[in-house]
Amino acid sequence: MQLSQLRQEFVLHFGEMGSRWGINRTVGQIYALLFLADEPLCADQIVEALGFSRSNVSMGLKELQSWNLVRLRHRPDDRRDYFTTPADLWEIVRTLVAERKKREIDPTLSKLRELEMTRPAPGDEAAHARIAELRRLIETLTRFHAELEALETERLVALLNMGARLGKVAAGAGRLLPMRRKA
């Protein structure tokens, strides 16, 4: 399977960006290939298209499955597993946000709650207060995320578009009104 120039550039870029997003390059490239594929691909097709070893592709697919970013498909009279990504971009974004929250935010919030429950040692009162402040902020953002997650996609898109318009209005007002600074 030969990749077009467009697909090849996208796959390579996604691999580079993947390393910045906390996944390895191979996993990023596998995902990009599946994302652009016209139909589900089996591991052998991925190996052929990307030139990776079969074991790297298998490990990459397992990682993508653990993130709930790929879907397993089967074909009649074919024992191989085929993989695809969700067609709905918003489903992909929601999945990524939920998985990152589960893997990064939730454990951090648990640790902050645990630390806040301890009595601070002498001299740690300010650090203890900062931990409590950070916990409250993360809990606020988590509640906000839960509210956004409950919205239907159409309403979420409308809200985001409204936010973009409000941002432009606020930026324009900022040029007209002096900014108050905290003391």
Instruction: Give φ, ψ of 179 to 5 degrees.
Output: -85, 130
Question: Average pLDDT of the chain?
Answer: 90
Average pLDDT over residues 163-174: 70
Distance between first and last Cα of the chain? 63
Identify the three-state secondary structure at position 23: coil
Please give the pLDDT value at position 174.
61
Give the other-Cβ count within 10 Å of 58's Cβ. Answer: 15
Model confidence pLDDT, tens digit, residues 21-31: 878 999 999 99
Average pLDDT over residues 142-170: 85
Whether pLDDT at 18 is above 70 = yes
Identify the three-state secondary structure at position 147: helix
82, two tokens: 């085929």
pTM: 0.78
Scanning the chain, the segments in alpha helix (DSSP H) are 5-20, 25-36, 43-50, 54-66, 89-100, 106-117, 125-150, 153-176
Give the other-Cβ count within 10 Å of 162's Cβ. Answer: 10
Give the other-Cβ count within 10 Å of 66's Cβ. Answer: 11
Q: Does domain 5-84 have CATH number 1.10.10.10?
A: yes
Please give the pLDDT value at position 176.
57
